[in-house]
Amino acid sequence: MTKLSVNINKIATIRNARGGNMPDVTKAALDCEDFGAEGITVHPRPDERHIRYSDVRTIRPLIRTEFNIEGNPIPSFIDLVNEVIPDQVTLVPDAHDAITSNAGWDTIKNRDFLREVCAEFKSKGIRTSIFVDPDPSMARAAAECGCDRIELYTESYASMYPKGREAAIEPFLRTAEAAREAGLGVNAGHDLNLENLEYFIRTIPWTAEVSIGHAIICDALYMGLEKTIQDYLSKVKIF
């Protein structure tokens, strides 16, 4: 059954825009859990424009579900992960100045580097996931890097969905099948929302986890955080 992990970066963005501690990012993370979220995701970047490294240290011991840290494995990120020991680390090749994640890893060209990083984190008992584009060859090569899962970068699925959901999902289905055949679990995230999420899960029912942040916070402005999380859960708990 697919789990819903809530990415709380946007809550931190609102806080940082004004300074101070409103909204309280730690309280928001715990509230998300109380409202039914089965995991909390954070994506600290070097400029700390949303989630800060200090947030990660504060939140980690309080999380009761699953804690997932996303990020580019630069030295400071690796040190942070090794310090707090999350349940899962998702490796994302985002540039330091990227507005948001915009591509998956080339797991063939970066195989040696990713293999080294995955081995280090797995030696600490941390589940490793590699962010990839919808390309079966990238999923197969990810398995050779020694990770436990891939996370499908779903931006193109979301953008193509209104024009034709069957065509939009097709490369993701092939990549998810390749990952499963290679012994990897499958996560997904980026631009998934209440409109397109259920079809994704129905088509790829072995999706282990979806990580959603931006859409949840946008919907929560109108519906409230608790109802929004419940609505998203209804889209993933369909089997």
Ranges of beta strands (E only) in the chain are: 3-7, 39-42, 67-71, 88-91, 127-132, 149-153, 185-189, 207-212
Element (H, E) at 231: helix 225-236
Name residues whose C-beta falls within 8 Å of residue 34's C-beta, 6 or more positions apart in sequence: none
Active site (catalytic) residues: 43, 70, 190
Name residues whose C-beta falls within 8 Å of residue 171's C-beta, 6 or more positions apart in sequence: 134, 135, 156
CB 67 within 8 A of CB 87: yes
DSSP-assigned beta bridge partners for residue 132: 152
